[in-house]
A and B are shown apart, each in its own frame.
Chain A
Amino acid sequence: MASTNIYDNFVTSLTQSIHNGLYSSMSPTWALITELAIIGFVFLMFYALVGLFLVYAERKVCAFMQNRVGPNRVGKYGIFQTIADFIKLLMKELVVIKNSDKLLFTLAPFIIIIASFMAVAAIPFAKGLHAIDFDIGILYVIAVSSLGVVGVLLAGWSSNNKYSLIGAMRSGAQIISYELSVGMSLLTIVILAGTMQFSEIVQGQEFGWFIFKGHIPAVIAFLIFLIASTAETNRGPFDLAEAESELTAGFHTEYSGIKFAFFFLAEYMNMFLVASIGATIFLGGWMPFHVSGWIGFNQVMDYIPPTFWYLGKTGFIIFLMMWFKWTFPRLRIDQLLTLEWKYLLPINLFNILLMAFIVLMGWHF
């Protein structure tokens, strides 16, 4: 029995009424442009808020791991700390470097931001609440997020600084290698789901999230996804592109003010993006926790709004990634490449075969 969620109609009717209102009050072209502007504005606001919150969360989690208090001066529990930091960043001088390619130096932060901004468009926040629902959703997200590495490379090169260049090269090698593992672990679940469309993937997890449905290979894929995506976002134990003790700050050493803020924001947005993809693919996205047959239990779960489920699962993965960052020591570049090419990739290939076999035999739930 397909359960009807009480919040589904709310989201659909809200978006529909805005749509109808716009189209009845102006010409189709202008209505379309207005809609695009609204969506863009909503995403920009969302972006800024998530960025601010994640920086705060990172500092609090880090403090908790290290048995400190963390930010506690600006506002209650220091919740306005990141806003104060942000205002400070906006007022900083934009340092101009001699003997650098100024066009590319300015362009690089934008490329990184745009790459993650494009990918957010495909993420479903609740039923019917996504900017665009491609039939190739997962492939689109992988494709778009692979553009970010261009920004990192350009930033490192155009800074005309050896630390920046080394950082950019490391980061480039790292992102290109780990992209493979991210893609393949997602592909494992695509085999189980039988589709790449995000809305159908979430719908397919109505009675059991894919991590439970696909049991062994799905769990392996989830672990690989966690490791590889942490590496792809240049975070945690894999942050040797900006290893402070060796490279000052890596590819964004020479950036200041708002341009540095862009890199900073992009790092946290990429983390959020990766976590929400993981939550959507493995943990059911906005789909509440249902057990087939338990009608009463399912209805109780339906009372929690889907966006809360989505944010909860995403927050869980983000917390895991922060936990990684503050507990594991940083890897060396050769260890990093060995981990990817000698361990993750072969395991991943075998895992895809295993998943295909299990789907073929019907051994999944």
Chain B
Amino acid sequence: MTNNQIMFFIFSAVIVIFSILTVTSRRILRAATFLLFVLVSTAGLYFMLRFNFLAAIQLTLYAGGIVVLIIFSILLTSQVGAKLELPGLSKKIYALIAAAAGAALCIWTILQYNFPRTSIESGRTSIDDIGKALTSTGKYGYALPFEVISILLLAAMIGSIVIAKKRKD
């Protein structure tokens, strides 16, 4: 086994174990912490593939941003030691069906795709290329999606400010 394979198995094991713990833990803050480990290990996989930029973004956005937001909202609402109630049987069955359907769809898609060898060497995506792709309008340019997301974010921010601001009447 090569070193890369060993690292891959370590990361995968962490991802699988902590994913399961995330959904089975009955303490909500522990679940959020386990989710953090899953996201950090995913970033580790990206580092292994030498997609450094993607890995750093994964760390900043998911681990540093989204998990922190989740923890913040838990801190504001939850009590130490409070355990979540177990869901009823019908809920469990529906959740199982939904999860199985999602997993089946993903696995089927992955198996159908035959992963052709790309000519691009991994780890050669420079920041220059990413920056140019984000702002170009031509082929493989992401200017339009980038702008659409910006407008969506702006709308969300204005909306939240309007909701949060108290009316003076």
Contact = CB atoms under 8 A, between A and B. Distances in A.
A173 B89 CA distance: 40
Contact of A169 (B52, B53, B75, B127): B75
A209 interface: no
Contacts of A179: 64
A149 B64 CA distance: 8
Interface stretch (B66-74, B112-120, B144-152): B66-74
A140 B72 contact: no
B90 interface: no
Contacts of B126: 135
Interface residues of A, number: 34
Interface of A: 28-29, 32, 99-101, 103-104, 107, 134-136, 139-140, 142-144, 146-147, 149-150, 153-154, 156-158, 160, 165, 168-169, 172, 176, 179, 196
Given A101-B27, A101-B81, A140 B68 contact: no
B63 interface: yes
Nearest to B126: A135
Contact of B64 (A143, A158, A196): A143
A153 B56 contact: no
Contacts of B74: 157
A56 B40 CA distance: 35
Contact of B56 (A104, A143, A149): A143
B71 A147 contact: no
Contacts of A99: 80-81
A101 B56 contact: no
B60 interface: yes
Interface string B1-24: 001000000000000000000000
Interface string B73-104: 01100001100000000000000000000000
Contacts of A103: 30
Nearest to A175: B68
A150 B68 contact: yes
B42 interface: no
Contact of A157 (B29, B40, B53, B67): B29
A139 B56 contact: yes
A196 B67 CA distance: 26
B80 A172 contact: no
Given A101-B30, A104-B30, A146-B60, A136 B127 contact: yes
